[in-house]
Amino acid sequence: MCGIGLLYPLNVEKALQLLNMLMTRGRDAAGYAIVDPDGGLVSYHTGSVENVRRSLREERSGDFLIVLHARARPLTEEANVAQPVLWRGVLVSMEGIVENDWEFRSSDAPSPWIDAYALCRVFETQIEDATISGLEKVVGSFSCIAINLSRPDVVNIVKGSQPLVFSLSEGSLAVASEDWMLIRLGIRNVTVPEPGTYIRISIRDSRQSIRRFRLTTSAPVPEPSEDRAVVLCSGGLDSGVVACIAKRRHRKVYLLFVDYGQPAAAREREAVHKIAEKIGAEVIEVKLPNLLNVEGLKTQVEGPEAAETLRRWVPARNLLLLSIAVAVAEQVGASVVYTGFNLEEACVFPDNTTEAIQLLDRAAKLFVSHGRVRIVAPLARLMKRDIVRLAIKYGILDLTYSCDRPDGPCGRCEGCWLRQRALEEVMREAK
Ligand SMILES: [Zn+2]
Return the domain boundaries, the chain.
3-212, 225-430
Give the pLDDT confidence score for residue 265 in this predicted structure.
96
The enclosing H or E element of 347 equals none
Q: Which positions ≥6 away from 358 have C-beta within 8 Å?
A: none
Instruction: Tell me if residue 396 falls in helix, strand or coil.
Output: coil
Domain 225-430 CATH assignment equals 3.40.50.300: no
Q: What's the burial of 58, exposed, middle or buried (CB within 10 Å: 0-12/13-18/19+)?
A: exposed
Give the pLDDT confidence score for residue 229 in this predicted structure.
98
The answer, yes or no, to whether the previous bond of 193 is cis (omega within 30 of 0) is no
Q: What's the burial of 64, exposed, middle or buried (CB within 10 Å: 0-12/13-18/19+)?
A: buried
pLDDT digits (tens, 9 = 90+) for 42-64: 999 999 999 999 999 999 999 99
Using the mean position of ligand 1's atoms as its centre, give its distance from the Cα of residue 162 in Å.
47
Neighbour count for residue 167 (Cβ, 10 Å): 18
Q: Which positions ≥6 away from 114 have C-beta within 8 Å?
A: 77, 78, 81, 83, 85, 101
pLDDT at 121 over 90: yes
Q: What is the DSSP secondary structure assignment for residue 298, as one 8-state letter?
A: G
Q: Which chain residues have CB less than 5 Å from ligand 1, an ion?
A: 403, 408, 410, 413, 416
Give the pLDDT confidence score for residue 200 in this predicted structure.
98
pLDDT digits (tens, 9 = 90+) for 402-421: 999 999 899 988 889 999 99
Q: Is the pTM of this model over 0.85?
A: yes
pLDDT digits (tens, 9 = 90+) for 146-156: 999 999 999 99
Give the torsion sign (CA, 288, 357, 391, 416): positive
Using the mean position of ligand 1's atoms as its centre, give its distance from the Cα of residue 409 in Å.
5
Percentage of residues of the chain with pLDDT beyond 90: 86
Using the mean position of ligand 1's atoms as its centre, give its distance from the Cα of residue 414 in Å.
7
Give the pLDDT confidence score for residue 296 in this predicted structure.
83
Give the pLDDT confidence score for residue 350 in this predicted structure.
87
Using the mean position of ligand 1's atoms as its centre, give its distance from the Cα of residue 404 in Å.
5
Q: How far apart are CA 388 and CA 228, in angstroms?
A: 26
Give the pLDDT confidence score for residue 420 in this predicted structure.
93
pLDDT band at 75 (very low <50, low <70, confident <90, very high): confident
pLDDT at 244 over 80: yes
pLDDT digits (tens, 9 = 90+) for 353-385: 999 999 999 999 999 999 999 999 999 999 999
CATH topology of domain 3-212: Glutamine Phosphoribosylpyrophosphate, subunit 1, domain 1 (3.60.20)
Give the pLDDT confidence score for residue 310 in this predicted structure.
81
pLDDT band at 198 (very low <50, low <70, confident <90, very high): very high
Q: How far apart are CA 209 and CA 223, in angstroms?
A: 26
Neighbour count for residue 385 (Cβ, 10 Å): 17
Q: How far apart are CA 223 and CA 206, in angstroms?
A: 35
Nearest to 264 by CA among 396, 142, 405: 405
